[in-house]
Structure 1
Amino acid sequence: MSSQASFILIFLFSFLTTSFRTTAESPSFVHHLCRNTTRYSANSIYSTNLKTLWSSLSSANASYSTGFQNATAGQAPNLVTGLFLCRGDVSPEDCRDCVSLSVKDIAAKCTNQREAIIYYDECMLRYSDQSVFSNLTVADGFLMYNDYETAPKDVDLFKKLALTTMTEAAFEAANSSRYFLTRKAKAIDFKDLYFLVQCTPDLTRDDCLFCLLESINGLHFENIGSRLLFPSCNSRYENYKFYNETEVNTTTTILPSPPPLAASTTPRPRKGGNSKVLAIAILVAIIMALLLSIAGYCFLAKRKKKTSDNAPTFYGDDLTTVDSLQLDYRTIQAATNDYSENNKIGQGGFGEVYKGTFLNGTEVAVKRLSKSSGQGETEFKNEVVVVAKLQHRNLVKLMGFSLEREERILVYEYVPNKSLDYFLFDSTKKGQLYWTRRYKIVEGITRGMLYLHQDSRLTIIHRDLKTSNILLDGDMNPKIADFGMARIFGMEQTQENTNRIVGTHSQ
C-alpha cells in the first residue's frame, strides 16, 4: 500500500471517529427559561458586561475540572452575575463543550434578556442582573417524567422504594464536598433503578439539603422515571443508566422486589415543579426512617442481658448523682411565688408547670406532679435519673428535683417558646414555622433521638414522643422533654420486652 493511500485511510478513519464522537457526545438540550421581565439594548453597557461574563465562563481557564464556576462583570446598575454547573460524572472536556454550547445557545434563545437559564443533560448555565451566587433558588422548576407509569397496584411500593433511596442520597450528598451523589438500587429479579442528586457548590449544607428535598418532593413517582430541575439543584431517577458510572463511586442498595418496570422511553416534559412549600409528609418520613432504623437496631439485635419491667431503675452511682440535684422545697416554692396562677405556663398529663425565678436570676420551669397522677415514685425517679444523665443541646436540661412534703417536683431549664404543638395548631402562630425552620426543628429532634438511642452512655427509649413534649428555646431550637415513660437499657443490652402499653393514646 502506497504512503498516499495509507494517509488517506488514516485521514478517513480519523475523520469518521471524530465525527462519531462529536455526534454521540453532543450535549443534549433539555430546557431554557428567559425571564422576559427586562431587556437590554444591543449596544448597551449591560450587553458588553454580559459578553464579558460569557467569555469568562467559557474560557480555556474556566474550572471545568471541578464542574462549577461563578463570575461577575461590571458594576450596578449594569452588574451581571452568572455561573455554570456540570453534572458530576462528566469529564472536563465534555463540561467545556457543554458550557461553550450553552453560551452560544442562550444568546440565541434569550436575545436581549437580562436574566436567563439553560439546561442540558450534561450542564446548566445561568446569568442575571441580580446576584445568583450563594442564593438558594427553588422557583422556576422544570419537571420531566417518563410516559410509562407504574401499575396502579404497585405505585405505593414503587414510590416508597424510590423516595427512601432518594432521601438517603440527598442527606449524603449535602454532607459531601461536591454536593453530588449517584446511587443504584438493585431490585432483585426486576429492572434496576438509577438515582442522581446535585446542588450548586456555592450553597450552604442546609440550603443544599432543603433544595434537594424540595426537588425530590416534586418528582412524579407514579412514573418509572422523573427529574426536577431547579436553578440551585436537581434530582433524577430512571430505570436505565443515564450517567457515566465509571466516573463516580455509585453506592448500590439492595431493595425488596419492586413491580416489573416497562421499557424506558424519552421522558415527556411537563412544566411545573414550582412548589415553594416542602410538604410535612417528607419531613415526617425522614425522621421516622431514621428513628425506625435506630429502634430496629436496639430491639432486633440479639439480647445479651435480660431485664424486666420491675428491674431497678438506678445503676451504679446514679443515686449519688440524683442526690446532688435535690433542691429545697421552700426554695422552689419561693421561686414560683407559691405556685401562683400567674406563673403557670402549662399543664400535662402528670401535673402542672410553672415558671420560676431563683434569687440569682436563673429562670426555670417547675413541673409539679399531681398527687392523683398516674406517675408513681418509680416513674418519678426514672425521669430524674434519665434526664440527669443526659447532656445534649436537643434535650431539655434537668436543674434539680424535690421529694419533700409529699410533693414530687422536677425543675428544668426554662424554655421560653413553649412546645411545638403551641405553634403547629395555632392558625396565626404556625406562620412562624416557615419551611427552613421546620426542617431545622425536625433535624434537631432527630439528633436528640439519635443521641438517646445510640450516643448516650445509657440507651434510652422515650416511648412518648409527641409535639407537646418538644419544647422550643428562644432561637426555636427543639428540646425533647418529659421522660416519665422512658425505658433505660443496660450497658450491654440490645433488646427488651414490655408487658404493658405506654405513651399517649390517640383520640
Structure 2
Amino acid sequence: MIHMSTTHGHAVAAVVLAVAGLVLVALTPLAAGIPWAAPCDGNTTGNYTSNSVYAANLRAVAAALLTNVSATPALFATAASGASPNKVYALGQCRGDQDATACRDCIAAAFGNAPRLCPEKKAAAVFYDVCQIGFSDRDFLASTVNSPDQEVQFINAQNVSADIAARFNATAYQLFHAMADYVASSSTISSSPKRFVTAAVGFDDATYPKIYGVASCTPDLTSGQCRGCLAEAIDEYSQEFPHNAKGARITGMRCALRYEVYPFYNGTSMLQLPGTQAGVFDFFTTLVFSSFGLSVEKNNSKGELNVFAGKKSETGKILAIVLPTVIAVVAIIAMLLCFWRRTKSKRSPSSASHMEEIESIESLLIDLSTLRLATDNFSKKNKLGEGGFGEVYKGALPNSQQIAVKRLSQNSRQGIGELKNELALIAKLQHKNLVRLVGVCLQEEEKLLVYEYMPNTSLDTFLFDTNKRKQLDWSKRFNIIKGIARGLQYLHEDSQLKIIHRDLKASNVLLDADMNPKISDFGLARLFGGDQSQDTTNRVVGTYGYMAPEYALRGQYSLKSDIYSFGVLILEILTGMRNSDTYNSDQPVDLPSLIWEHWTMKAVMEMIDPYLRNDYSSQEDIFRCVHIGLSCVQEDPVDRPNISVISVMLDSSTIPSQDPARPAFYVEMSGNFGSGLYSESCPRVEPTTASMVMSPNELSITDPEPR
C-alpha cells in the first residue's frame, strides 16, 4: 500500500486523479511498467487542442527526446520547439542503472501515455520507476530545483516498529546526505556523465539489515546546483514525511531521492555505507571474545550477543553484558594513552600553545547527526534567519538545552584550519555580554557553529519594527547600550586577548529573555597581539553604514574601527532608524551627519525616537548618549574615545565639555565615497589593492582570512 504526500495542493489532486485513472483505464503492459505518478498542471497553463500549433510543437519535442535521451551516455536530454506563446519546453531522463533499449522503451511509453493521463494539458510530467518526462509552455528548464507542479512525493504507508524508529530515521538521513554528497561531488561529475548513485547502508536490525537508496540529478546542473536541489528535497522530506516509513521518494524534473528496505535497482550498490555503531561494536566484541576461546552467538530475534564458554548458560549472557562494557572502556583508555604519547613526543615548546587551542576545540565538537536531529535536519520551520555567512536554525540538544546553529555557507572560502583557529579564539571568550559558543561541527563539508539560544533574537528585530520598538523604553535601551559597551570593553581591554570585532551592528547584538544584550558573530574578528594598535587588509568586508572610513577606503582597521561602529549603533538605538534608511534621493546624507546637524541647531530631540521624547526624566541621559555617539563617529580615529572612557561616561554623569566635530564622511549606498553634509568636498578614492566587498543593509559577508 502506497500513500502519497505533497506540499502542493494542486499537484495532490492531479496525482490522485491520475493514479485513479490508471485503475480505470487499461494500459498496455510495457517493459517500463506502469507510471506511478503524472501531475498535470492544466489549471494554470491551460489546455491545447489536437490540431493546434502547440500540439505540433509537442509532437516535435517528443520525437526529439525519444531519440536523444537513449542515445546519450547520460540518458538525459532536453528539447524546445516553436515560438511563444506556443513554445514547448521538454525534458527526458532515464535512471542511471538502465540500458539504452530499456530507456527508449520507457520514454516512448511515457509520451504515449501522457495524452491519456493528462488530456490536452499544456504542462504535465509522467514518472515511471526507471524514467521520467516533463513538458510545459513555461521554461522550467531554466530552473535548477524541482518545480512545484512537476514534483511528487510518495511514502510507503507501512512503518517500522516504534522501538527502532529513531535509529531508522537517523540512518535514512545518513543515507540521503551521503548520496547527495556523492552525486554532487566533482569526482562523480568528472568520472561519469550520469549524475546518479545507488547506495546501501547497514542497519543493525534483523528485519531490516540494510536500507537501500537512489539519488540523481540532471547532468546539466553544476555541482552546487545539484547539491542545492537535493538539499531542498531532503528538507521537504523532514517537514512532510513521517519519520518511520519503510520507504519514501521525492521525484521532480531536476533531482530525485528514494529509499526502501529492499533493493529496488539493478546491479550492486555503487556506494556502500558502514553499519550502525551497534553493528561495528558487535564485530569487535566477537573478535575479542574469540581470542579468549569464548563462543559468540547473536540472537537474531532480539539482536543480542550471547557469549558461551563451551555450553550455553546464563553466565554467558551476563558476560555479554559486563565484558563488552569493560573492554570498551579499556579500549578507549588505550587509544587515549596512545594519542597522548604520540602528541607528547611530537610536541615542542613552540607548539604547546597551538595544541592547547586545538584541544579546546576538540572538547567542543558535536556530531553532525546530533545537530541534524536537534534541528529536524535544518528544516525551514526552525530557521531563525539568514545572512551573508549562511543560515541560523533553532534546535534542542538531547539534554533539552536550546541552541542556535549557524550553518556556514558551503561556498565560503574559509578552510577548516582557519576555522579551527577562529574557534579557538572564540572558545576563550567568556563574558555575560558575549554570546557563548556551545560547540562546533566540522563533518561532511559542513561548518556548523552552535551558540546558546537567545529567545528575543537580535536587536534589529525590535529596534526597526514600528510595533516592537514600543517595547524598548529608555531603561531597556540604556541597558542595551551599556551592555554592548561592557562586552566591547572585554574584547578590547579586559580579556587576555585584544580582539577587534569588525562587524558590530544591530543584527549582531542578540537579546536574552530579559533583554540583556550579547555581542555575536565573530566571523570577521581579528586578534591583535602585544602593543599592536592597527593593521591593514587588502580585502574589506563588512556592512554598509557601520564601517569606519579609514577601513572602507584603505583597509586600515583598529580598536577605533569598532568604536565607530558602536557610535553608529548608539545613534540607531536613540532614533529607531537604520543608518541606511536616511539615504534617499532628496536627502543623501547618513544618520550621524543628520543628527550632528540637529545637534548644532539645538534641535536634536527632533531626531530621537518619538516613543522616548515624552520621557523627560531621561533627557539628560539621552543627550549624553547622543554626545557619546557623535564622538565615536569622528573622522580621525584619534578623536574617537577608547571604550573604557565610554564606559565611564555611561556609568556616570561625566561628559566631555567640548562638542564633537562633524562626523566622518559617509559611504553612499551605491558604494561611492562622498563628503559629509558639512565636510569639505573631497575626490572619490578608488581602492587599489583593496577588494571592496561589502554587503548592503544588514547582511554581512563572513569570509574572514587568517592572520
For normalisation by structure 2, the TM-score amounts to 0.39
Taking the TM superposition and a 5 Å limit, the aligned residue runs for 1:85-100 are: 85-100=93-108
Distance in 1, Cα, partners of 2:73 & 2:275: 32
State the shift of 1:29 in Å. Answer: 1.5
The CA deviation at 1:42 is 1.8
Q: 1:468 maps to what in 2?
A: none
Whole-angstrom CA distance in 2 between matches of 1:230 and 1:95: 18
Distance 2:535 2:528 in 1: 4
- In the alignment, is residue 70 of structure 1 matched against residue 78 of structure 2? yes
Matches within 5 A, 1:77-476: 77-135=85-143, 136-140=145-149, 141-175=151-185, 176-177=188-189, 178-188=194-204, 190=206, 191-219=209-237, 220=241, 221-246=243-268, 249-257=270-278, 302-303=339-340, 304-306=342-344, 313=353, 347=484, 351=488, 369-371=491-493, 373=494, 375-376=495-496, 379-380=497-498, 396=524, 401=528, 403-404=530-531, 413-416=540-543, 473-474=694-695
Distance 1:73 1:480, change over 3 A: closer
| Count of paired positions | 315
SS of 1:251's partner is strand
8 Å CA contact retained: 2:233, 2:257: yes
Distance 1:480 1:24 in 2: 54
Contact 1:134 1:204 (C-alpha < 8 Å) held by counterparts:
no
Aligned-CA RMSD value: 4.3
| Partner Cα distance (1:370, 1:61) in 2 | 63
**Identity over aligned residues, as a percent?**
22
SS at match of 2:343: coil
Specify which structure has the bigger relative contact order, considering alpha-carbon pairs within 8 angstroms and separated by 6 or more residues. 1
Note if contact 1:155-1:222 (Cα within 8 Å) is conserved in structure 2. yes
Does residue 31 (structure 1) correspond to residue 37 (structure 2)? The answer is yes
- Describe the superposition over 1:275-298 as per-residue Cα deviations: whole angstroms up to 9, x where unpaired: xxxxxxxxxxxxxxxxxxxxxxx9
Equivalent-residue separation in structure 2 for 1:50 and 1:29 (angstroms): 20
Q: Is the 8 A contact 1:142 1:228 kept in 2?
A: yes
- Cross-structure match for 1:362: none
- Shift in Å, 1:181: 1.6
Which stretch of structure 1 is more off in the superposition, 192-201 or 204-213? 204-213
TM-score normalised by length of structure 1: 0.53
Mapped partners of 1:314, 1:227: distance in 2: 47
* Structure whose CA Rg is larger: 2
How far did residue 482 of structure 1 move? Answer: 11
Listed as ranges, the gaps of 5+ residues in structure 1 are 1-21, 262-297, 316-343, 353-367, 384-393, 423-428, 430-471, 485-507
Quick check: 1:403–1:409 contact (8 Å CA) kept in 2?
A: no
Decide which structure has greater helix share.
Answer: 2
Contact 1:137 1:231 in 2 (8 A): yes
Deviations 1:336-372 (Å, cap 9, x if unpaired)? xxxxxxxx9x9587525xxxxxxxxxxxxxxx9443x
Q: Deviations over 1:43-64 (max 9, x none)?
A: 1111111111111111378535
Aligned AA (1:195): G
Change (3 A) 1:197 1:311: closer
CA contact (8 A) 1:402 1:410 kept: no
| Other structure's SS at 2:274 match | strand
Q: Which amino acid aligns with 2:146?
A: T
Distance apart, 1:478 and its partner CA: 4.9
The residue identity in structure 1 corresponding to 2:216 is Q
What is the alpha-carbon distance in structure 1 between the residues aligned to residue 204 and residue 349 of structure 2?
Answer: 42
Q: Secondary structure at the match of 1:245?
A: coil
* CA-CA distance at 1:36 after TM superposition: 1.2
SS in 2 for 1:229: strand
Unaligned runs of 5+ in 2: 1-27, 280-299, 302-334, 356-480, 502-521, 548-568, 570-577, 579-692
Distance 1:139 1:70 in 2: 19
Distance in 2, Cα, partners of 1:347 & 1:194: 52
The DSSP-based 3-state class of the residue aligned with 2:48 is coil
Contact 1:194 1:239 (C-alpha < 8 Å) held by counterparts: yes
